[in-house]
Amino acid sequence: MRLQSCSYRFPASLLLSSAVFLLTSSAAWATPIDDPVAPESTTVLPSEPLESVAEDSFEQVTSVSQLSDVQPTDWAFEALRSLVERYSCIAGYPNGTYRGNRAMTRYEFAAGLNACLNRVNELILEGTTNRVTKDDLAALQKLQDEFSTELATLRGRVDGLEARTTELELTQFSTTTKLNAEIIVAATDTFGDRVGDNRDRTRPILADRARLNLETSFNGKDLLRTRLEFGNFGNLANETGTNMTRLNFDGNVNNNVVIPHLLYRTPITSNLSLTFGPVGLGYTDITDTLTPPTVASDSLGIPSKFGEYSPLYRRGGGGGAINWNIQKNLILTVGYLAGDANIPQEKNGLFDGSYNAMAQLAYYGDWGAVGVTYSRSYAPSSKVDLTGSTGSFLATRPFGDNIATSTDSVGIQGFYRFSPHVQVHAWGVYTRANAESSGISSLADGRGGNVLLNVNGGDRADVLYGAIGLTFPDVGGKGNLSGILVGLPPRVISSDVRDERDSSYHIESFYRFQVNGNISITPGFWVVINPENDSRNDTQWVGLIRTSFNF
């Protein structure tokens, strides 16, 4: 509404107080009320939604000169000055501007008028009647009558919001805790002979996995997450003979409810935060995988376990990490996680058993992000897993099942947005493994069997892996995501004990169709050429249809 629609005049000293909407909204008049001296070139800007307006805070001004975009030559200058000096009811933006050429709706005008009436009542109660004249009150009364419908509607909305707020407070689960749920139901099958065999051993399956995160905040800045989880996805590797066919959401607890994850995060200072937890804390919980949004999501992103994000991040346990915002776009993470933090026996606990220590430096920009990561790990013979169960069995345990192993890994990862609908991401990791004990050990032979070899303490093995992917947000509709990924699964490229003869190749494609804000359906498939880094093995094909519920 423009103010010319008002059919009456009132004093210039009350010109803007009658629309004290200026106190609480960024919208302002585009043209004066029947003012013959208003410039014809006044620019009318569209009104802003209240939601966007609310994002800007306002600051009370004591002098009209504090408003940098208001000049003495402006037609409303005297009215603005009167409002500041007589009524103290003008607010500007934090950057010292007023934005006087904004249009507004009738509801916005009514909201401002209501605020003005409240201010006048305050002045009357304070006994400052010399600041409010009879002419002022008469003009305000006319405005109140003119906008009686809008004021009544506004009061009704406020009453309705208060009622809904009361109802929510009475019926909500907790005033400090909310529930975030992720439920995955998928049908999947593989095609191709089992590694080292001459027949396909898998059959189509339909299974589920659900995660219920109870997220609690005690002060609005911290987070306590308690996860309840159940599922019945069988491990495809048991039938295909290779971890390269695994889904990123597999895991079978026979749909019994477990608590695999407990985390607490809190800021320490304005640029330091602490994350810690006794169980189920992974690198992905303490730092960023540096992949585009939702690509590294079990329910919304790439379906394969290898392709979802760099396997370097598939390490965890119980412990903590510090995140330091060195600058606005530069973050350093330092973390330490123990594999058996809860076991008090010898060769266990926080510092006497398996562990994963990491440091990551990440830089973020409007174009994307990039980072470098270092990880130091140690595991006793029974718990060695260098690849997060994504590569060949030899790359996972390069010294077999009877040798304690330490590793030093360096990874680089990042993503780049070419446009809102095209983005690329990539990662690569080099790992050096060291044998920390000696003896006869059983090593994977690449054909589904094992070979006994002697391992000496100090023997070394080098493992390499990486991938590059293209994703296309909103293709075919808002919220959809399609993508392709090509990668080299973890492979032992050199070893003092046993090398691998070939390289595996991972090629994957998927398309997520976003049904609505809570439901998505994702068909996907990937092919593994030379499974277990051995060309004698049959090519493995994996297909699935994943339905995800997020709420």
pLDDT tens per residue across all 551 residues of the chain: 333 333 333 333 333 444 443 333 333 333 333 333 333 333 434 444 433 444 444 556 677 777 778 777 777 777 777 777 666 666 666 677 777 777 667 666 676 667 667 777 777 776 655 555 677 777 778 877 888 888 888 888 888 888 888 877 776 667 789 999 999 999 999 999 999 999 999 999 999 999 999 999 999 999 999 999 999 998 999 999 999 999 999 999 999 999 999 999 999 999 999 999 999 999 999 999 999 999 999 999 999 999 999 999 999 999 999 999 999 899 999 999 999 998 998 888 999 999 999 999 999 999 999 999 999 999 999 899 999 999 999 999 999 999 999 999 999 999 999 999 999 999 999 999 999 999 999 999 999 999 999 999 999 999 999 999 999 999 999 999 999 999 999 999 999 999 999 999 999 999 999 999 999 999 999 999 999 999 999 999 999 999 999 99
Q: Using an 8 Å Cβ cutoff, are 55 and 47 in contact?
A: no
Residues 6+ apart with CB under 8 A from 79: 12, 13, 14, 15, 16, 17
Task: Record the tokens describing residue 131, joined without a space.
Answer: 């600041």
3-state secondary structure of 297: coil
Burial class (CB in 10 A: 0-12, 13-18, 19+), 9: exposed
**Which pLDDT belongs to residue 93?**
67
CA dist 137 to 91, 449, 537, Å? 22, 94, 91
CA dist 60 to 57, 91, 111, 364, Å? 10, 4, 18, 36
Q: In whole angstroms, what is the distance from residue 5 CA to residue 32 CA?
A: 11
Q: 224-247 burial, b if ≥16 CB within 10 A, otherwise e?
A: bbbbbbbbbbeebbebbbbbbbbb
